[in-house]
Structure 1
């Protein structure tokens, strides 16, 4: 890094917190240990005194072990541990198991002798922070890679060799959430809009990096029109079997199995579906997962259509398939939207978009489902009732489409 860029990085870090704040450095250090299927993780506070306690949710399994702390570490149960840091410079260290096998036998986190692919959420578990007023933790993440491992990629801005700045303005405690890939990794990069996009995967895992970037280049302007967010960075990772054969979104990043088609035979795109999750960050409550999954699949189709990648004939055939697939569905209300429920949700959203466009046609400000989506993005979690109220507010009246027993 040049001297000018180094000075600029320090300057930007100094602006990341209010001027009245008491900034305390928090440095994460991760060392992968392939021989033991573990990573050694440490959290070092520049000054421990302003931090009263950090209570960790360690989960049900025996994933975390070998805790050592400056100060006091107490573990009331296997699922919960609390660190009360020493007053001066204080470090908490532990080990975490990397490989995580699903019931299906596939992995959603894996480490081999040559690479690791996982979410940072697992390296540092969820934390409840208690600290003195006006204290701001300035967080950085540093990796120590095994011999022969080439590089590491995360969804956070890089500030040095294998070093990243973790800054989430929505949270008081900045964890290194999102996907991480490290080892013998191949990467392709592009600047799309205001976002630095990186597609990275272990060498030899069959990830079509340039194909991914090409498709994203086509749909990106249309995604920007819908979602008024431009993440500074987006990381897309992937690998082949025995990794999970699907897609999983996370903070500033998402995962796609390398064998998944970028565009399926019916014209939808898992790649765009997960992009919508990352851009919209819409989550749900009150048995309303149809909103989250329905919107992601609706825009996986619609953005491809707007980009010119889906003809009207192909679009209508896709609708016929959705109708057939969703026939057994009696209600959209569920905590976990299945494929048929998501298909029926897409049909409802398409009908609602037409209804809104027709109702506001000729007005000074024509509206569409895009306006409903932007309204939902302002909510912490959206319920079906929230969705109905926002939709009818956008439309300027009651909706016949939403007066539907599927939503009860």
Structure 2
């Protein structure tokens, strides 16, 4: 399921003109477990103890892929990239609230450049403000807070309800022991005056966790757990497994499926980081995409019960959403879920997770024969886009392969959609389909998209490209794991550098209760 995100920034119309904009912010953050926190009252002297051979290096003959360079800050997480001084910067610090089940403690730290003349922040409904600096309530009884101009480094701390439902199922929750939720819940307004070239002030919104957990560009997990990551062709895929989760699949198997998908699906949609959150009960949704990819970063959550060995593959379905970089008209919105459902099943087949017969039986669903994909008013359920969209794309891909003599496929269409500037209309879609097929398929699209006619799905396995037996596992990226548990919260830090473990000895840290 894809979550939609919008930005409605309005650029300045002339030099020295004031511009007012509203934004949900840019989705970019440098997440990481927040483990070691150096505060006042912490002292240490350091000796390096070198332990050689405790962690085995790569097997002979196997060369790991180069890993991206990261910088650790004082709290042990990934360092934030320097924020440009010409934009509004908002950093949300997220923390659990054990005494307030269903809530998380949020501090929004706002830095405003000199050209910003006013700034308002609208908190989520029922939020309880605990303290502010540089903000005053906009109007009594509202959730709006206005910057008072006293400082350009303002902040507001509030208790936010994070329990959320979708279709009757929980999709965000805070249990007291852990929390998993969508942290993007505020609205911002600002006015700025440019004195140089009239370019607009761009907002940047990032999140970090106060203690244990991971914050992605949209979702955040707070609590103990384990992470696994693999880098494939410049894309780092990180799997976040909460301590209380019991995944139906081995984490390494999930990473392998995602790594193969990254290499197999070439849609001109570069993503440098993808965070996958495994969702334990009481969360009930099967899966959810974080929405629009921002700054080449994406995230999603997948319920712990979802298996890999099925054509109804939630993990791969949600991953396909990270490759969708286009906007559609309402008439063409069905292609988002339809293509994710199709490629999720096709990738499962190509990876050998399911047989061709299982894949085809899933694709030839007879569901919603009376519904027209391009006419939402004819839909009896939102599942029309998934199920009938799946069957239509299965048939369309096979048709393109046949008409182009196997030289092109549906992937060519989606590569072009991702490059397209402007909304995807039915005419735009038909143009790129014709380009891929080498001839017009307008009549085919009119019959199966603009009307309710059910598309015929070919029975030949050769019409669907590389089979599972041919899809060798060519991923060689290294895998790392990071574990944080409360029991080791006061242990000395350990650095792993090139096969050598460096223990930082002589560590002293004030216990959580403040005693010495």
- Range into which the TM-score falls when normalised by the shorter chain: 0.7 to 0.9
Q: In structure 2, what is the equivalent of residue 172 of structure 1?
A: none
- Give the Å deviation of 1:218: 3.3
Q: Quick one: structure 1 residues 96 and 292, their matched pair in 2 at CA, closer, same or farther if it must change by over 3 Å?
A: farther
2: distance between equivalents of 1:245 and 1:136? Answer: 33
C-alpha contact (below 8 Å) 1:332/1:345 kept by paired residues: no
- Give the Å deviation of 1:343: 1.8
Whether 1:108 aligns to 2:171 is yes
- Residues 7-406 of structure 1: matches in 2 within 5 Å? 13=81, 22=86, 26-37=90-101, 38-47=103-112, 49-56=114-121, 58=123, 61-63=125-127, 65=129, 68-75=132-139, 78=142, 81=144, 83-86=146-149, 88-102=151-165, 105-122=168-185, 125-133=186-194, 135=201, 141-145=207-211, 151-155=212-216, 177-207=217-247, 208=249, 209-223=251-265, 225=266, 227-250=267-290, 251=293, 252-264=298-310, 267-320=311-364, 322=365, 324-334=366-376, 338-361=382-405, 366-378=407-419, 379=421, 381-399=423-441, 400-404=443-447, 406=449
C-alpha contact (below 8 Å) 2:373/2:388 kept by paired residues: no
The CA deviation string for residues 333-355 of structure 1, in whole angstroms up to 9 with x for no partner, is 22886334422222222222233
C-alpha contact (below 8 Å) 1:99/1:109 kept by paired residues: yes
1: distance between equivalents of 2:428 and 2:131? Answer: 44
> How many aligned residue pairs are there?
362
Which gives a bigger RCO, structure 1 or 2 (Cα 8 Å, sep 6+)? Answer: 2
Q: Quick one: structure 1 residues 340 and 121, their matched pair in 2 at CA, closer, same or farther if it must change by over 3 Å?
A: same
Between Structure 1 and Structure 2, the one with more helix by share is 1
1: distance between equivalents of 2:162 and 2:80? Answer: 36
Q: Tell me, what secondary structure is at the counterpart of 1:221?
A: helix
- Structure 1: tracts of 5 or more residues without a match: 146-150, 156-176
- Give the Å deviation of 1:89: 3.4
Q: Tell me, what secondary structure is at the counterpart of 1:113?
A: coil
- Give the Å deviation of 1:138: 6.3
Q: Tell me, what secondary structure is at the counterpart of 1:35?
A: coil
Q: Tell me, what secondary structure is at the counterpart of 1:199?
A: strand
- Give the Å deviation of 1:101: 4.0
- Structure 2: tracts of 5 or more residues without a match: 1-35, 37-69, 452-516
2: distance between equivalents of 1:326 and 1:140? Answer: 41
- Give the Å deviation of 1:92: 3.1
C-alpha contact (below 8 Å) 1:206/1:239 kept by paired residues: no
The CA deviation string for residues 234-268 of structure 1, in whole angstroms up to 9 with x for no partner, is 1111232220231001051111111122233xx23
Backbone CA RMSD of aligned residues:
3.4
2: distance between equivalents of 1:302 and 1:91? Answer: 49
Give the TM-score, by structure 1 length. 0.76
Q: Quick one: structure 1 residues 370 and 340, their matched pair in 2 at CA, closer, same or farther if it must change by over 3 Å?
A: same
Give the TM-score, by structure 2 length. 0.61
Q: Tell me, what secondary structure is at the counterpart of 2:321?
A: helix
Q: Quick one: structure 1 residues 356 and 112, their matched pair in 2 at CA, closer, same or farther if it must change by over 3 Å?
A: same
